Amino acid sequence: MAISKGDKLPDVKLVKATAEGPEAVQSADYFAGKKMALFAVPGAFTPTCSAKHLPGYVEKAEELKAKGVDEIACTAVNDAFVMGAWNKADGSGDVTMLADGSGDFAKALGLDADFSAYGMGTRSNRYSMIVDDGVVTEINVEGPGEFAVSSAEHMLGQL
């Protein structure tokens, strides 16, 4: 069953991509005490993710922060090195990259998806959520092939 509004995030290891290299973090600790805009993509460097999803959050970062967001984070079933390279290529210092290399976070959320038909294996659904002190206050899950409700613009309307 997928996570819902009002649920607490599961406690799963993620790996934060930093300039100094990968840094393991526990989701329960990482999301505690702050309001976060979290979005997930099926994969770094994939077409919609690189052309629209990440750039939207980079472009709207200041507006999100002005509405009370402490941090913007992106997660994908990729390793921290790929997430770091993607942030360097298409992102910014305003977006934290949280690698979910084995898909444990996506699975724990109930938001994993089978992309085997595209040669990508198990990945994450495309979604966004507002997480306040580890609790989901808004969640927006896209249907297959869609990109609308997980956008930065949509999230701004929810804040």
The predicted structure's pLDDT at residue 122:
81
Tokens of 109: 């959320």
pLDDT at 121 over 70: no
pLDDT at 51 over 80: no
Which three-class secondary structure state does DSSP give residue 144?
Answer: coil
- Alpha-helical runs (H) found in the chain: 27-30, 47-48, 54-59, 61-66, 80-90, 104-109, 152-158
Higher pLDDT, 51 or 133: 133
Instruction: Give 114's pLDDT tier (boundaries 50, 70, 90).
Output: confident
CA distance 105 to 112: 8
pLDDT, mean of residues 116-144:
89
pTM equals 0.94
Instruction: Map out the domains of the chain as residue ranges.
Output: 13-158
- Model pLDDT for residues 4-36, shown as the tens digit of each residue: 999 999 999 999 999 899 999 999 999 999 999
Instruction: Give 144's pLDDT tier (boundaries 50, 70, 90).
Output: confident
Specify the CATH number for 13-158; select among 3.40.50.970, 3.40.30.10, 1.10.10.10, 2.30.250.10: 3.40.30.10
Q: Average per-residue pLDDT in the chain?
A: 93
pLDDT at 69 over 70: yes
The predicted structure's pLDDT at residue 123:
78
Nearest to 26 by CA among 8, 36, 12, 5: 12
Percent of the chain with pLDDT over 70: 99
Which residue numbers are catalytic?
49
